[in-house]
């Protein structure tokens, strides 16, 4: 791993043997982009990559020179209006109304390890030899503003983390209206853009489009990363697939409004921008003030989308998630929400918990409805005191009683919201986000607390910390069930209202970080009406998140398959729920519900007391299976095999680091009549190892990867007597265990 600087040619080269990232100081002292991709050998000069031609209708930097124009140069952190007409990475509104800036090279430094970003989630290192960080200081000498570009190259991953910091060293007050975390100019546009979009209950569905001249983007203006789009995009070369081809992944470690944009100009140069959404953003930068952007991560793969995903999985699972739960298998839980909704008593909850304990569940989670006057979703939110009618002994007694059963206890909160019918709102009606003299919109009968205000965050912290101190709470489900409207804070002056969205999410991070630090043994799970804030920013505080409110096994195939392109399996909150499913009214086999939910943190969202003895027996076997293999599932290497987006089948697998054990999940959505013989080619195995499949058949790793695993069932031909019936929504888990090593052929 090395970060080189060649002073004679003013060239930077970041390389770790897997990737190379090349930059150069341009003739006007701004910073140019030369190359990002597969590793190349270092050399003194790569100046041949800086191509310049005369083009009519082009503006040029220097009078008398008709070659050097920023319009036709690839740049590292571009600005608008000094011969570049593409969308910029930064924009500063000045007191005279100008938005023109010119950031030129001043200095740079190279240091081992990786600095933290105060107040923001970010990847980290545990030792200095894990990464090396290049910081380049640019300066607008007229404005006296410094711009620090941070690049962290990881030693053993084809990944670079980037962020930017602005520092106003003048007495002039400026307004930062655009501050992207990452800009990358690529020399061509021969890519397909993949993004992950949807809505509530159908989050992160994979979308593919070809890059064309013009702008294509996904974004959020909802105050959170949103169900609708995710702060993650990919570029892949046509023909690239899971196992081969060039792929670039771009991920933003942020939970608020974001923009991910690809702009292709008339000469087919592609500019990627990723960062805080400039829409509605305006950060007042007084003299002496600084502004730090969130961190973005770029991953390069020349071995297809699967290798890119496994890089993100490893980085985010081990160097973004933190705390004691980072590396620990997650407890199998049962959540009472779909079992009871608001209709419960302490004894009813204990009845569910007792039965769950008998079946092997380890954690009981009490969801919404335990506090204040909360008999429905129109009252009580914000009053974090136990309802004495439902819980006469409070949370502490219920937690003790659950612990006495031999289980851990978990609790639901929605700390960012309030009902108007609550003691909190009656005491502090000015604490919600609201625009003066205008009506206030609601969502789920609730309103958004102004988390840009420290006194609001402090109040919520006190309530949550008191409960966590007084009761034996091992797990927190942190929910957020509406987007921000009327984005205005009565506590901010008029010239800082454009800071509201970012200040809000900084308040959320501050509360998370304080609780995470003071209660290190608590397992936090993030949630936002399911997957409305399932993003890398949340993983820094909560190592797992509720993937979607939609727990239907068939729908989850698409959701979990697409989510795996960026996020590790250990982050997937995934449960077995009742049928007919509460979101789709579809009934799927209990086995399939578990076979999908295994590939995540695993739990149940139903009342086990309502099941038959045969179903209870099956659940016990499911729990035993998950306990045996959860270390492998949650921390193994994950491979996508068959896409539910392109066929009636889906398949994926996870492989242990030593390649001795693997699990294959195979899923059929609708049954067939007289169908073909079927097989699926596996990945990630050792070709020289023989594997015993489900304790019977033995095949070599080379055979399983090149010939395939047979998945033919009774739908091929006519079912014979004694043969298991193939059905709609069928599935199977194959267990592969190494038997021995073979001599190479």
Task: Tell me the per-residue pLDDT of 355-385, one tens digit each, with 9 for 90 and over.
Answer: 999 999 999 999 999 999 999 999 999 999 9
Q: Give me the pLDDT at residue 315, please.
A: 98
Q: Which residues contact 97 (CB under 8 A, 6 or more apart)?
A: none
Enclosing H/E stretch for 735: strand 730-741
Domain end: 319, 348, 376, which one? 319
Are 309 and 348 in the same domain? no
Q: Is residue 549 part of a domain?
A: yes
Q: What are phi and psi of 652, to 5 degrees?
A: -150, 170
Q: Is residue 325 part of a domain?
A: no
Q: Give me the pLDDT at residue 721, please.
A: 86
> What token pair was written down for 18?
């897997």
Q: Which residues contact 165 (CB under 8 A, 6 or more apart)?
A: 147, 148, 150, 290, 291, 292, 293
Give, as one character, the DSSP assignment of residue 421.
Answer: B
Are 221 and 340 in the same domain? no
The C-alpha angle with vertex 123 and arms to 537 and 283, in degrees rounded to 5, equals 55
Dist CA 185 CA 31 (whole Å): 12
Q: Give me the pLDDT at residue 1, please.
A: 65
SS3 assignment, position 163 = strand
Taking alpha carbons only, the member of 536, 606, 534, 555 closest to residue 201 is 555
Q: Give me the pLDDT at residue 145, please.
A: 98
Q: Write down the catalytic residue from 140, 265, 368, 479.
A: 479
Are 98 and 226 in the same domain? yes
Dist CA 521 CA 739 (whole Å): 39
Q: Give me the pLDDT at residue 122, please.
A: 98
Are 396 and 524 in the same domain? yes
**Whether the Cβ atoms of residue 580 and residue 563 lie closer than 8 Å to each other:** no
> What token pair was written down for 50?
């800086």
Are 68 and 184 in the same domain? yes
Q: Where are the alpha helices (DSSP H) in 228-299?
A: none
The C-alpha angle with vertex 448 and arms to 444 and 454, in degrees rounded to 5, equals 155
Domain that holds residue 226: 2-319
Mean pLDDT of the chain: 97
Instruction: Domain count for the chain, please give it.
Output: 3
Query: Which segments within 224-282 are labelled E, that is strand?
Result: 232-236, 247-253, 258-264, 270-276
**Whether the Cβ atoms of residue 211 and residue 229 lie closer than 8 Å to each other:** no
Q: Write down the catalytic residue from 549, 552, 690, 730.
A: 549
The size of the chain, in residues, is 745
Are 161 and 281 in the same domain? yes
Q: What are phi and psi of 346, to 5 degrees?
A: -60, -40
Give, as one character, the DSSP assignment of residue 67.
Answer: S
User: Is 265 annotated in the active site?
Assistant: no
Q: Is residue 391 part of a domain?
A: yes
Q: Give me the pLDDT at residue 740, please.
A: 80
Q: Give me the pLDDT at residue 744, please.
A: 56
**Whether the Cβ atoms of residue 506 and residue 291 lie closer than 8 Å to each other:** no
With the CA atoms of 625, 570, 565 and 580 taken in that order, what torsion angle do they form, in degrees rounded to the nearest 10? 60
Q: Is residue 408 part of a domain?
A: yes
SS3 assignment, position 178 = strand
Are 576 and 614 in the same domain? yes
Are 465 and 601 in the same domain? yes
pLDDT in tens, 20-70: 999 999 999 999 999 999 999 999 999 999 999 999 999 999 999 999 999
Dist CA 589 CA 730 (whole Å): 7
Helix axis angle, 346-359 to 394-404, nearest 10°: 30
Query: Which segments within 222-344 are labelled E, that is strand?
Result: 232-236, 247-253, 258-264, 270-276, 283-285, 290-292, 295-301, 333-335
Taking alpha carbons only, the member of 565, 571, 568, 524 closest to residue 547 is 571
Dist CA 668 CA 650 (whole Å): 7
User: Is 549 annotated in the active site?
Assistant: yes
Q: Is residue 107 part of a domain?
A: yes
Are 183 and 300 in the same domain? yes
Q: Say which CATH number the domain at 684 has.
A: 2.60.40.1180
Distance of CA 250 to the CA centre of its chain: 11
Are 274 and 358 in the same domain? no
**Whether the Cβ atoms of residue 235 and residue 248 lie closer than 8 Å to each other:** yes
C-alpha dist (Å) from residue 735 to 355, 659, 696, 709, 738: 29, 13, 10, 12, 10
Are 617 and 735 in the same domain? no
pLDDT in tens, 409-444: 999 999 999 999 999 999 999 999 999 999 999 999
In this prediction the pTM is 0.97
Q: Give me the pLDDT at residue 690, please.
A: 96
SS3 assignment, position 498 = helix
Q: Give me the pLDDT at residue 117, please.
A: 97
Give the 3-state secondary structure percentages of the chain, helix then strand then coil, rounded to 5.
20, 30, 45
Domain end: 579, 600, 633, which one? 633
Collect the ranges in the chain with pLDDT lower than 50. Answer: none
Q: Say which CATH number the domain at 590 has.
A: 3.20.20.70
**Whether the Cβ atoms of residue 252 and residue 195 lie closer than 8 Å to each other:** no
Q: Is residue 499 part of a domain?
A: no
Strand partners, 282: none
Q: Is residue 326 part of a domain?
A: no
Residue 554 half-sphere exposure, CB side, CA atoms within 13 Å?
19
Domain end: 609, 633, 657, which one? 633
Q: Say which CATH number the domain at 94 has.
A: 2.70.98.60
Are 468 and 584 in the same domain? yes
């Amino acid at each position: 791993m090395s970060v080189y600087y060649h002073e004679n040619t003013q060239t930077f080269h970041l390389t770790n043997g897997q990737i190379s990232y090349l930059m150069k100081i341009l003739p006007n002292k701004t910073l140019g982009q030369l190359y990002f991709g597969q590793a190349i050998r270092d050399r003194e000069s790569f100046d041949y990559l800086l191509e310049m031609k005369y083009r009519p209708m082009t503006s040029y930097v220097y009078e008398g020179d008709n070659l050097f124009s920023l319009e036709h140069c690839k740049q590292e952190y571009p600005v608008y209006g000094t011969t570049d007409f593409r969308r910029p990475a930064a924009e500063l509104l000045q007191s005279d109304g100008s938005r023109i800036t010119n950031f030129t090279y001043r200095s740079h430094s190279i240091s081992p390890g990786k600095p933290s970003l105060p107040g923001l989630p970010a990847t980290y290192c545990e030792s200095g030899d894990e990464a090396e960080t290049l910081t380049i200081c640019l300066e607008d000498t007229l404005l006296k503003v410094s711009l620090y570009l941070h690049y962290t190259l990881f030693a053993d991953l084809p990944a670079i983390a980037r962020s930017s910091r602005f520092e106003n060293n003048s007495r002039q007050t400026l307004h930062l209206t655009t501050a992207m975390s990452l800009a990358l100019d690529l020399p061509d546009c021969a890519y397909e853009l993949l993004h992950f979009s949807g809505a509530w209950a159908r989050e992160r569905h994979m979308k593919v489009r070809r890059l064309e001249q013009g702008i294509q983007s996904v974004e959020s203006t909802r105050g959170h990363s949103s169900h609708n789009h995710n702060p993650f995009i990919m570029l892949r070369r046509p023909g690239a697939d899971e196992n081969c081809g060039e792929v670039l992944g771009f991920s933003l470690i942020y939970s608020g409004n974001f923009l991910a944009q690809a702009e292709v100009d008339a000469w087919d140069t592609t500019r990627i921008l990723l960062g805080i959404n400039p829409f509605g953003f305006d950060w007042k930068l007084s003299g002496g003030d600084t502004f730090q952007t969130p961190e973005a991560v770029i991953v390069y793969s020349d071995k297809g989308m699967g290798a890119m995903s496994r890089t993100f999985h490893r980085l985010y699972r081990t160097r973004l998630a933190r705390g004691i739960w980072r590396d620990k298998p997650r407890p199998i839980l049962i959540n009472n929400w779909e079992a009871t909704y608001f209709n419960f008593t302490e004894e009813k909850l204990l009845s569910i918990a007792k039965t769950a304990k008998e079946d092997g569940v380890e954690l009981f989670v009490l969801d919404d409805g335990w506090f204040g006057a909360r008999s429905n979703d129109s009252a009580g939110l914000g009053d974090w005191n136990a309802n004495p009618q439902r819980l006469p002994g409070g949370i502490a007694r219920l937690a003790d009683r659950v612990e006495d059963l031999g289980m851990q206890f978990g609790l639901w909160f929605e700390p960012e919201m309030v009902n108007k019918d609550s003691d909190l709102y009656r005491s502090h009606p000015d604490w919600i986000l609201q625009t003066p003299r205008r009506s206030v919109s609601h969502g789920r009968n609730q309103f958004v607390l102004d988390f840009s205000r420290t006194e609001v965050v402090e109040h919520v912290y006190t309530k949550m910390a008191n409960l966590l101190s007084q009761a034996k709470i091992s797990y927190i489900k942190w929910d957020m069930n509406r987007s921000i409207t009327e984005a205005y804070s009565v506590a901010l002056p008029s010239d800082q209202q454009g800071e509201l969205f970012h200040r809000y999410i900084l308040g959320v991070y501050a509360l998370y970080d304080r609780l995470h630090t003071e209660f290190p043994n608590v397992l936090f799970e993030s949630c936002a009406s399911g997957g409305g804030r399932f993003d890398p920013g949340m993983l820094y505080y909560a190592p797992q998140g509720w993937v979607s409110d939609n727990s239907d096994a068939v729908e989850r195939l698409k959701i979990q398959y697409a989510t795996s392109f960026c996020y590790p399996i250990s982050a997937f909150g995934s449960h077995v729920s009742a049928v007919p499913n509460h979101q789709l009214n579809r009934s799927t086999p209990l086995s399939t519900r578990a076979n999908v939910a295994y590939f995540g943190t695993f739990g149940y969202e139903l009342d086990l007391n309502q099941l038959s003895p045969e179903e209870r027996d099956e659940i016990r076997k499911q729990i035993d299976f998950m306990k045996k293999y959860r270390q492998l599932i949650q921390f193994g290497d994950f491979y996508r095999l068959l896409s539910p987006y392109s066929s009636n089948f889906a398949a994926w697998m996870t492989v242990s680091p030593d390649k001795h054990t693997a699990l294959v999940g195979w899923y059929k959505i609708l049954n067939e009549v007289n169908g073909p013989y079927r097989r699926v080619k596996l990945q990630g195995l050792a070709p020289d190892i023989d594997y015993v499949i489900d304790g019977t058949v033995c095949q070599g790793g080379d055979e399983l990867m090149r010939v395939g695993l047979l998945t033919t069932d009774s739908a091929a031909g006519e079912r014979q007597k004694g043969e298991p019936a193939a059905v709609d929504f069928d599935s199977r888990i194959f267990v592969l265990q190494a038997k021995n090593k073979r001599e190479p052929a």
